[in-house]
Structure 1
Amino acid sequence: MPSWLIPYALLAPGLLVIAALLLYPLYQMVDMSFHDVRLKNLRAINPVPPEFVGLENYTKIFESDLFWPSLRNTLLFAAAAVALTIVLGTLVGLLLHRLGSKMSMFVIVGVMAAWATPPPAQAIIWKWLFDSDAGIANWALNLLPDWLSNLVFGRADWSGQPWLNEPFTIYLVLTVSVVWASFPFIAVSILAGLKSIPHELYEAAEMDGSGPITTFAKITLPMLKPVYAVLIVLSIIWDFKVFTQLYLLAGGTANREAFNLSLWSYAEAFGGSPKMGLGAAVAVVLTIILLIITFVYVRQIVKTEDVR
């Protein structure tokens, strides 16, 4: 075998696996989005070929009253969740870096338990915590002094507060749930990045009289930029595709005002009158938006590195 073919031969098995597990299903989804696919087209016995409808599914999406609210919910939730996850993960990562080895390992094991919790279990835990009748959230808020609760929230009595009825409070609980489950991965990744920064840089900064904030801004943050680039991209991808937690917290697809693009896609594809072609079209739109945002972010990172 020629030497120039060896790298391609080594990459071929991985590329074949990616093609089988990712590219082919992606192709099927795109193809389905151009057809009117119903249950009769998918039955095992005597299936009816789906009707080709061209861009009709996409036209229905952009004309639907659900498109802009679902897109707004998706973008605002992802922006808040990514920002909070990165900030909290960074703070915990800095804390772990300052702890001793035994205590650091103890905290890592504790927080990684949250990251390892399956999404359905996460949603059930937080749905119980914010239950209107027996939830700990309402109980804890009722413990606040009335003057403080009125000053901060404008109310003192939280008994029976229905957190999971309105879209805003549903997304508030969803954000807490997702950040709680996501920040441990960020924290451990930041800790790994901090371990790779030469200690001599901090010693030199200390000798120059640099404070903690200045040291973080001038040394830690620039050295962790490659780590942040990867973590932010991963967080964007994960938070744009959140489905399980929202589905369980919102109680299914009844509350259409709480839809994000993922839940809307599911509702169209597997609702009372399944329209899988339309659901696939919503998923394609979500994928394109996600690719555009990721591409713009990565391109900006690359341009910044080129300038430097």
Structure 2
Amino acid sequence: MTMRTQTVRHRRRPRTPYLLITPAVAILALSMGYPLVWQLVTSTQRFGLAQQFGKAPESVGLGNYVTLFTDSYLWTVVARSIAFCLVNAGVTVLIGVLLALLMKAIGTVPRLILQVSMLLAWSMPVVAAMTVWRWLFDWNRGVVNWVLTWGGLDFIGHNWLQAPLSFFFVATTVIVWMSVPFVALSVYAGLTQVPDDVLEAAQIDGANGWQRFWGIVVPMVRPVLMIVLLLQIIWDLRVFAQIKLLQDAGSTPSETNLLGTYIFQLGTGSQDFGMASAVSVFVLVLTIALSWFYVRTLLKEDA
């Protein structure tokens, strides 16, 4: 085989993978590209209820963005959303890692029971799960109030959703409960790839459990941890259904709005789809900004 033949084959070989993924990339670009372009265009227009019935939208240029960035309430919602997102993502990953370590340490039968329980919690529809959680924290018939009152505390008729702080405590409890199974199962899959002989060798050399965890386990599952943390930040920043259903149960939306519910309020509530699109574009940019550090780190590791 001549050198020229080897060079030709080497040049032709990479084309096949690109051809195979081209249809999937095209479908993904079309399904995601059209809504994104529509939002970008709508964010520069005055688009309200009349435009929904055929009236031509009026172009306002960057007027929606000027109004957006000069609105003090928006920045309150942004700060609230970022704080809520980071707290939820951190707590979710922490509990998920602890459960993954627990699954690694226990026997087969209890591990299967724990895994099935988490899968059931993870697969439960949001509306069904929220129905249960709203009943648990109900101010009149809630199990949580009953248990706390039975334990000697005065929680008779306590409304968990009235004050913003307790509202977000309930929201965090619900969202973490629904997100932990994904993190725990993902991290556990990564832990199964850590060689036992390496851990045994470190133990023989005198490393204690904490040193083995930070010196061997964490570096080996670090890519998994970064991916699940990145996904949790993205998901928790865009959370909507849980917050909206809790607001409908008896809270003040202006005091508990996050970015998702604020966009819903602007669009569906106020029929101001131009402003809602502008906030949506802002959320996209904010999501990229928050996740860029993790994406850049992953790209460096793959390079």
TM over 0.5: yes
Contiguous gaps of at least 5 residues in structure 1: 146-155
CA contact (8 A) 2:162 2:252 kept: no
- Hey, what does 1:32 align to over in structure 2? 42
- Hey, what does 2:173 align to over in structure 1? 176
* Separation in 1, partners of 2:72, 2:256: 13
- 2:216 pairs, out of 193, 204, 219, with 219
- Hey, what does 2:266 align to over in structure 1? 268
* Separation in 2, partners of 1:90, 1:170: 26
1:106 paired to 2:106: no
* Separation in 2, partners of 1:180, 1:214: 30
- 1:77 pairs, out of 61, 84, 109, with 84
TM-score by length of 1: 0.89
1:131 paired to 2:131: no
Contiguous gaps of at least 5 residues in structure 2: 1-11
CA contact (8 A) 1:69 1:259 kept: no
CA contact (8 A) 2:49 2:271 kept: yes
**1:300 Cα deviation after fit:** 4.2
Q: After superposition, where does 1:81-96 map in structure 2 within 5 Å?
A: 81-96=88-103
- Hey, what does 1:153 align to over in structure 2? none
- Hey, what does 2:156 align to over in structure 1? 159
Deviations 1:254-278 (A, max 9, x none): 521111111111100000x300011
Deviations 1:205-231 (A, max 9, x none): 221232222211111111110101111
**1:306 Cα deviation after fit:** 8.9
1:54 paired to 2:61: yes
TM-score by length of 2: 0.91
- Hey, what does 2:254 align to over in structure 1? 256
Moved more, 72-81 or 136-145: 136-145
Secondary structure at the counterpart of residue 92 of structure 1: helix
Q: Which of structure 1's runs of 4+ aligned residues deviate more than 4 A?
A: 300-303
Q: Which amino acid aligns with 1:224?
A: V
Secondary structure at the counterpart of residue 283 of structure 1: helix
RMSD: 2.0
* Separation in 2, partners of 1:20, 1:216: 44
Moved more, 59-68 or 161-170: 59-68
